Amino acid sequence: MCRCWDNSALTVRVRIILSLALAIIITPLIPHPIPHDLLSLNSLILTVEQILWGMLFGLMFQFLFLALQLAGQILSFNMGMSMAVMNDPSSGASTTVLAELINVYAILLFFAMDGHLLLVSVLYKGFTYWPIGNALHPQTLRTIALAFSWVLASASLLALPTTFIMLIVQGCFGLLNRIAPPLNLFSLGFPINMLVGLVCFATLLYNLPDHYLHLANFVLQQLDALKGHYGG
């Protein structure tokens, strides 16, 4: 579910090898007892629980990239570039060019800030904070639901300055259309609208590392909140 792990650039064989390597390294370090009767009903329930917890864990980090990608979608709509779409190889869905550019930039920031090492560290500590047999809890589902609303709010806040500026530009063109109707505002307004939008987009990219760090800290705070709930 994590964006970097779920990318189609990683083949299934590579994912399986990496998963087995992490399992071999982490399993001896788990402080809680692991059931030895792997064919019992209890082991089956614990396996399903760990699969669901892994999906929720990856979804929390997926929200980090979704917030930035959704902000790129909003910017594209405001700039009139909603028709400039491309196929996202990681998800197979069609996304706008700006959203895909932000997505690639966010993945580069993820590795530049040692996010892959942090992901492995949190994965290991997860077995201490959320022990086997007690990983899923109503508080966990509540945190996931709140994180989804946070994605929408964060994307809106990232795109709000550009949205406000584009609204002013389009309002000025509407006023100019009332003052001088003979002007061809379609051929004049669309390039200016796109130019102003690209300037705002470049400003967002310049400040994106700070926003990315803030969003990543929020995800870690949510995981810490779950840790506190379990008394870790």
Integer Cα distance of 130 and 176 in angstroms: 61
How far is residue 198 from each of residues 44, 71, 218, measured CA to CA in Å? 53, 14, 28
Integer Cα distance of 56 and 51 in angstroms: 9
Rounded to a whole number of angstroms, the distance between the first and last alpha carbons of the chain is 25
Longest dimension (CA), the chain: 82
Integer Cα distance of 186 and 173 in angstroms: 9
pLDDT of residue 81: 75
Break the chain into its structural domains and give their ranges. 12-27+36-229
pLDDT in tens, 133-160: 665 666 666 766 777 777 777 777 888 8
Those residues whose C-beta lies under 8 Å from the C-beta of residue 165, and which sit 6 or more positions away, are: 196, 200
pLDDT in tens, 74-101: 888 877 776 777 666 655 667 778 888 8
pTM, whole model, 2 decimals? Answer: 0.71
Burial class for 106, CB neighbours closer than 10 Å (0-12, 13-18, 19+): buried
Q: What is the mean pLDDT of the chain?
A: 75
